[in-house]
Amino acid sequence: MLITNTRATRETYPNDLRSIMSVDNAEQSRKWLSTWGGIYPGSTPLYALDGLATALGVGQILVKDESVRSELGSFKALGAPIALVRLILRLWPNDGLDPQALLSGAYKTKFSDFTVISATDGNHGKGLAAAAQSAGCRCVIVLHANVSAEREAAIAAYGADIVRIQGNYDESVEEAARLARENAWHVVSDTSYDGYEEIPRDVMQGYGTIAAEIVEGSARSKSPVTHVFLQGGVGGLAAGIVSYFWETYGTRRPTAIIVEPEQADCLFQSALSGVAAKATGSVDSVMAGLACGETSPLAWRFLVSSVDYFMTVKDEDAVQAMQVLAKGNESDLPIVSGESGAAGLAGLIQLMRDPKLARQAGLDHSSTVLLISTEGATAPAVYEQLVGESGLGVLARQKEFLDRRASHYA
């Protein structure tokens, strides 16, 4: 289902939003992260999938592959570490702490009694646990009933203490807030709520690294990006990306389309009402990272004016998109994209199957579409079950593809 956001604007980036998130702050975050051992050096790849573009009827498809951002396997390696650093700098303003040294563990003894906590569907918790381990502080992660044991083990591997609840994601957020109040811990969440905006802002600002790399990479492509498909969730990733694009390109910003599971449609409902809203469905989705029931009010302040269309997809659409990316073809390399990572492609496929919807979104043979594959096989067993091949198997075929291409141009 697709709806047009009548509140979207093509005005220049407003000063009131720039005071919250800006290109300058995103670049500062990028600098701080550049020396952290938790992410790999350099930019993640921006692949052109020309065969898929031809098959779907668009001019070009670019895929930003965040699965190789770090050993964490997702874009969340960019948000939680920056939020943790900025939190510590605010709490110890007079100690002369160096942000990059902090993530390198230079002050581990100082923060051994400092505890951070967060609820998660998996990837944010893993990013926070890794950053806390680097900084030397304690990390507690609250998991809801639908988070797999496989994802739990991946978080615990970074030294986090795990708390399990029987409810959903939104109830895990409430439990994390309760535990923080009782124990004088600090919540490092990627979703905002009443009286809690600084840290979610910092998380979103960390995602500006992705946008900065896309701006640099797309400048070298054969045509500028016209459309960007972004995963929903609480809205943090989308806000971090569209705000950077909006400030950079102004009135020429790409058309933005948000995609989320039909049973976790909080952003879709927000677009209908004009205010941050709750999902209408069960929230449980195979797209675990997008199974969120409530829109982040802070993120919505950016999305309400900068996202042109909102849409929902079925779980089976996401699985099909995972399989399409994994398969590749003669001209397109195979890509490992997890359940949430492939949501953007699922949305594009759905629109291009319906000529009326494609026209509504302005998609045609002249369009250059940007997709962000936000995660790889972060739950390897789930990935293999859904795709029919392991992530390692897909990566082996990707290497063969790249080796063939390199030898061809040698």
* 238 and 197 both lie in a single domain: no
Span 242-267, average pLDDT: 96
pLDDT tens-place string over residues 27-73: 999 999 999 999 999 999 999 999 999 999 999 999 999 999 998 88
φ and ψ at 328, to 5 degrees? 65, -170
Q: Is 26:205 a contact under the CB 8 Å cutoff?
A: yes
Q: What is the pLDDT of residue 156?
A: 94
Q: Which of 65, 121, 190, 332 is catalytic?
A: 121
pLDDT tens-place string over residues 96-113: 999 999 999 999 999 999
76 is catalytic: yes
Q: Which of 146, 173, 203 is the last residue of a domain?
A: 203
Q: What is the pLDDT of residue 194?
A: 82
Residue 221 pLDDT > 60: no
pTM (2 d.p.):
0.92
Residue 282 pLDDT > 70: yes
Band of pLDDT at residue 123, cut at 50, 70 and 90:
confident
* 183 and 258 both lie in a single domain: no
Q: What is the pLDDT of residue 57?
A: 98
For 355, the domain range is 2-73+207-409
* 67 and 82 both lie in a single domain: no
CATH number for position 194: 3.40.50.1100
- Across 80-94, 183-197, 213-227, least confident range: 213-227
* 261 and 375 both lie in a single domain: yes
* 97 and 67 both lie in a single domain: no
Band of pLDDT at residue 222, cut at 50, 70 and 90:
low
* 174 and 212 both lie in a single domain: no
- Across 80-94, 184-198, 313-327, least confident range: 184-198
* 400 and 356 both lie in a single domain: yes
Mean pLDDT for the chain?
94
* 99 and 47 both lie in a single domain: no
Q: Which of 64, 65, 76, 126 is catalytic?
A: 76
Span 334-350, average pLDDT: 97
Band of pLDDT at residue 173, cut at 50, 70 and 90:
confident
Band of pLDDT at residue 220, cut at 50, 70 and 90:
low
Angle at the Cα of 321 (from 338 to 388), degrees rounded to 5?
Answer: 65
Residue 342 pLDDT > 90: yes
Q: Which of 152, 168, 203 is the last residue of a domain?
A: 203
* 266 and 359 both lie in a single domain: yes
Band of pLDDT at residue 386, cut at 50, 70 and 90:
very high
* 248 and 385 both lie in a single domain: yes
Q: What is the pLDDT of residue 410?
A: 60
121 is catalytic: yes
* 147 and 192 both lie in a single domain: yes
Q: Which of 168, 203, 238 is the last residue of a domain?
A: 203
Number of domain units in the chain: 2
* 27 and 162 both lie in a single domain: no
